[in-house]
């Protein structure tokens, strides 16, 4: 290869392998995530002040965009892997905060079978947004690649949104005492805890989210290790056969 040819080869874009994306399980799983989020948002009353609503809207935006990306580029690989990890961490935060800090491990299943139709619909929509969507997004993170693309230090960026959310709503509670949904969560209640106490509680929640982000990263690495082991076994089997 001549020098000119080598220079052209270096500047050319890499060849992207096209897939039959319509046959990809990842496409249909992500479409199901979008549908469940849409149902949860529509079926119940949703207020934007709540992290639950915001995180589900982020899931909707990311996976809606991912579907477009996949179909347009004919690839099963989703876009923006670092953002994908953040989306996974944030929606899992919704589940953990709701189940542990707000509901104190209370079983949500009985609420899915109440007699009142209005409560039944509301409870099922809440269950979808607090439990079904987070689990579906986590399954997507583990089951579908690419893995080992996001670096450990990238997980620090995942704390930016929850921290900004907490700081904005602390300022909002102090500066706008008449605003609706002034305290969306008890740990942001400046009347009960004081400004400094609420700030410390917010930092505690952010620390929990940091641990959750590490677990999300660990699951990514574990999924890669399992997949790599499986590929090695298949190659050995093909070689011996």
Residue 227's pLDDT is what?
A: 83
Choose among 32, 89, 94: nearest CA to 63.
32
Is pLDDT above 50 for 6? no
Neighbour count for residue 114 (Cβ, 10 Å): 14
Choose among 12, 30, 22, 32: nearest CA to 74.
22
Contact indicator for 50, 130 with CB cutoff of 8 Å: no
Is pLDDT above 60 for 5? no
Residue 10's pLDDT is what?
A: 41
Longest CA–CA span in the chain (Å) reads 78
State the DSSP code for 47. -
Residue 229's pLDDT is what?
A: 81
Q: 163-204 pLDDT, tens per residue?
A: 999 999 999 999 998 998 899 999 999 999 999 999 999 999
Is pLDDT above 90 for 31? yes
Is pLDDT above 70 for 240? no
Neighbour count for residue 207 (Cβ, 10 Å): 11
Distance CA 6, CA 158 (A): 40
Q: 115-170 pLDDT, tens per residue?
A: 999 999 999 999 999 999 999 999 999 999 899 999 999 999 999 999 999 999 99
Sorted by where each begins, the domain ranges of the chain are 19-240
Reported as a pLDDT band with limits 50, 70 and 90, residue 17 is low
Is pLDDT above 60 for 68? yes
Choose among 76, 57, 79: nearest CA to 66.
79
Using a 10 angstrom Cβ sphere, with 0-12 exposed, 13-18 middle and 19 or more buried, the burial of residue 82 is: middle
* CA separation, residue 70 to residues 28, 96, 138 (Å): 11, 30, 19
Is pLDDT above 70 for 15? no
**Displacement of CA 99 from its chain's centroid (Å):** 16
**Displacement of CA 19 from its chain's centroid (Å):** 25
Per-residue b/e over 211-241, b at no fewer than 16 CB within 10 Å?
ebbeebbeebeebeeeeeeeeeeeeeeeeee
Helix, strand, coil percent values for the chain (each to nearest 5): 75, 0, 25
């Amino acid at each position: 290869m001549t020098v000119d040819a080598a220079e052209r080869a270096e500047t050319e874009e890499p060849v992207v392998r096209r897939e039959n994306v319509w046959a990809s399980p990842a496409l249909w799983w992500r479409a199901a995530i979008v549908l469940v989020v849409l149902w949860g948002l529509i079926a119940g009353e949703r207020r934007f002040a709540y992290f639950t609503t915001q995180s589900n809207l982020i899931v909707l935006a990311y996976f809606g965009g991912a579907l477009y990306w996949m179909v347009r580029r004919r690839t099963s690989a989703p876009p923006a892997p670092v953002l994908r990890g953040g989306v996974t961490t944030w929606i899992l935060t919704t589940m953990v905060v709701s189940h542990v800090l707000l509901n104190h491990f209370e079983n949500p299943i009985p609420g899915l079978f109440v007699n009142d139709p209005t409560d039944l619909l509301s409870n099922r929509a809440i269950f979808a947004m607090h439990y079904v969507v987070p689990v579906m997004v986590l399954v997507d993170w583990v089951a579908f690649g690419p893995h080992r693309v996001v670096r450990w230090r990238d997980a620090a960026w995942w704390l930016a949104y929850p921290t900004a959310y907490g700081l904005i709503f602390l300022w909002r509670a102090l500066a706008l005492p008449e605003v609706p949904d002034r305290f969306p969560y008890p740990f942001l209640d400046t009347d009960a805890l004081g400004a400094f106490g609420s700030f410390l509680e917010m930092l505690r929640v952010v620390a929990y989210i940091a641990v959750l982000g590490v677990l999300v990263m660990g699951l990514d690495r574990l999924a890669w290790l399992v997949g790599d082991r499986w590929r090695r076994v298949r190659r050995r089997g093909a070689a011996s056969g």
